[in-house]
């Protein structure tokens, strides 16, 4: 299936009746998925059936436009009680693990319409179906965080949908612990930092403008962090430890040519690159809070959802690790949490009325109660946060 960058979403995105010719299909890409290569070549009835399901899941632009016309809080005419419209929440990397579980937890309340922002449309489609996420409560849109063009196109596509944006969850990540050499994003940034931090940095900076416009009463921007980026914990002291140093590699563009592929300018280490990217995620959340919380009222938060040892995050690790890691976390560290429970935790940070405090890094105790956790010295260093912000702005073309 050709997944191509979307340049536009045609407002005439309508599924033709079965049997009608493909000429009625405008040459366009639909919410990030180009149908041209695929559909024109084979316009069989099975393709049409797929397209009908696809259309139900993504919704038509016309239907979506109506969503914004509704004010967030309405007064029901008969009893005068206030009602809240369905919130709209974008979750990146919702095709598996934590993102999928959170999307499910949110969608099944009926209070949320979840935009599943995923790089593999068909995988996301299948995942949503097998998780039992109702079509009317979710829309899948293409987003590849390893391409800044794709990030910009996603934002454009989302805007054309006409929906208001109430919550953004930056969840997607890659972890490449066994890589011997760095690999790179479309713009030539080391893949872990490029995807986990820089892609999300551009996405959240652009979508902040959309969140500002929303009239939803509790708007939130959540960036998933982790214990392993925090060196004030046992887990964060397992080598290689996160350390951004003086950011010389980041400032040099992480391209591995005229600068190191690592933020601190050191030798490439895939596990460290991931942990460094998580430090950037946690610093970015705090910098957002300092710059925008007062002005916008948006809640900025990060979290460590627990050790979800069964997810796809560890797909690149050696088989022995994947075998032993879940029981190690379950029975030895006792830090294990199921995907379902972790999803509920993230959903709490999205919508629980008691978690509105901004600038917080949430964690959960043994009884699964949330608490404000302490970040490590580096992950709470305001000066470093400012520098990461400024360098990242340059790298993604915002400054
Ligand atoms: P998964 O691998 O299951 O999920 C990661 C998601 O990110 C997938 O949907 C994946 O898409 C997506 N993704 C990867 N690269 C890109 C890209 N270039 N563009 C768009 N999406 C992309 O891992 P988890 O659910 O475990 O991880 C989710 C978050 O939780 C991450 O931020 C991680 O750091 C964090 N976390 C995880 C912990 C754990 O123990 N698992 C602990 C603490 C934090 P695809 O399905 O196509 O591969
Ligand atoms: Mg870790 C309380 C102890 C604890 C917790 C909560 C985690 C979480 N880990 C803990 C301890 C240890 N780990 C110890 C003592 C060891 C040495 C045996 C250990 C090892 C280890 C490895 C090799 N742990 C790991 C790895 C990984 O490859 C994972 C990683 O670092 O991914 C970046 C990982 C993790 N341990 C965790 C968590 C949550 C991870 C996974 C991912 C993440 O931070 O997102």
Instruction: Give, in order, the Cα–Cα distances in Å from 355 to each of 303, 313, 379.
Output: 11, 27, 21
pLDDT in tens, 151-200: 999 999 999 999 999 999 999 999 999 999 999 999 999 999 999 999 99
Give yes or no for residue 95 CB within 6 A of ligand 1. Answer: yes
Q: To test ligand 2's pocket by mutation, which of 179, 193, 225, 227 has the most ligand atoms within 8 angstroms of CB?
A: 227
Q: Is it the case that residue 319 has pLDDT exceeding 90?
A: yes
Q: To test ligand 2's pocket by mutation, which of 238, 281, 315 has the most ligand atoms within 8 angstroms of CB?
A: 238
* pLDDT bracket for residue 247 (50, 70, 90): very high
Q: How far is CA 184 from the centre of its chain?
A: 19
pLDDT in tens, 296-317: 999 999 999 999 999 999 999 9
* pLDDT bracket for residue 80 (50, 70, 90): confident
379 within 8 A of 229, measured Cβ to Cβ: yes
Q: Is it the case that residue 24 has pLDDT exceeding 60?
A: no
Q: What is the pTM of this model?
A: 0.87
Q: Examine residue 240 and say whether the peptide bond preceding it is cis (omega within 30 degrees of 0).
A: yes
Instruction: Give, in order, the Cα–Cα distances in Å from 131 to each of 86, 107, 118, 143, 342.
Output: 20, 11, 15, 20, 15
Percentage of the residues of the chain whose pLDDT score is greater than 90: 78
pLDDT in tens, 106-152: 999 999 999 999 999 999 999 999 999 999 999 999 999 999 999 99
pLDDT in tens, 330-343: 999 999 999 999 99
Give yes or no for residue 228 CB within 6 A of ligand 2. Answer: yes
33 within 8 A of 50, measured Cβ to Cβ: no
What is the chain's mean pLDDT, rounded?
86
**Interface ipTM:** 0.99
The residues, ordered by sequence, that sit 6+ positions from 65 with a Cβ below 8 Å of its Cβ are 161, 162
């Amino acid at each position: 299936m050709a997944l191509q960058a979307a340049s536009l979403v045609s407002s005439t995105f309508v599924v033709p009746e079965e049997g009608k010719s493909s000429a009625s299909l405008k040459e366009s890409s639909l919410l990030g998925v180009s149908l041209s290569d695929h559909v024109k070549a084979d316009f069989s009835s099975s393709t049409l059936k797929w397209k009908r399901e696809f259309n139900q899941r993504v919704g038509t632009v016309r239907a979506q436009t109506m969503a914004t016309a509704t004010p967030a809080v309405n007064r029901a005419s008969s009893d005068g009680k206030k009602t809240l419209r369905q919130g709209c929440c974008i979750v990146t990397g919702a095709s598996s693990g934590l993102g999928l579980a959170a999307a499910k937890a949110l969608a099944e309340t009926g209070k949320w319409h979840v935009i599943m922002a995923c790089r593999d449309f068909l995988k996301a489609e299948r995942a949503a179906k097998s998780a039992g996420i109702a079509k009317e409560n979710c829309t899948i849109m293409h987003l590849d965080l390893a391409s800044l063009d794709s990030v910009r196109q996603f934002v454009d596509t989302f805007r054309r949908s006409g929906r208001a944006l109430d919550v953004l969850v930056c969840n997607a990540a890659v972890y490449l612990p066994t890589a011997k050499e760095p690999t790179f994003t479309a713009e030539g940034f080391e893949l872990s930092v490029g995807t986990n931090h820089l892609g999300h940095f551009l996405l959240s900076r652009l979508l902040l403008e959309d969140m500002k416009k929303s009239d939803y009463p509790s708007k939130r921007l959540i960036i998933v962090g982790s214990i392993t980026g925090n060196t004030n914990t046992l887990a964060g002291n397992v080598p290689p430890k996160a350390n951004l140093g003086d950011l010389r590699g980041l400032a040099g563009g992480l391209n591995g040519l005229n600068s190191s592929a690592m933020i601190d300018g050191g030798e490439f280490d895939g596990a460290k690159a991931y942990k460094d990217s998580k430090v950037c995620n946690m610093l970015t959340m705090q910098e957002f809070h300092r710059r925008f919380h007062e002005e916008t009222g948006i809640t900025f938060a990060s979290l460590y959802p627990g050790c979800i040892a069964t997810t796809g995050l560890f797909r690149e690790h050696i088989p022995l690790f994947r075998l032993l890691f879940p029981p190690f976390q379950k029975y030895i560290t006792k830090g294990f949490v199921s995907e379902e429970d972790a999803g509920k935790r993230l959903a709490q940070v999205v919508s629980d009325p008691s978690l509105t405090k901004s600038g917080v890094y949430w964690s959960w105790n043994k009884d699964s109660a949330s608490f404000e956790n302490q970040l490590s010295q580096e992950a709470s260093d305001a000066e470093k946060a400012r520098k990461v912000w400024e360098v990242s702005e340059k790298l993604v073309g915002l400054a």
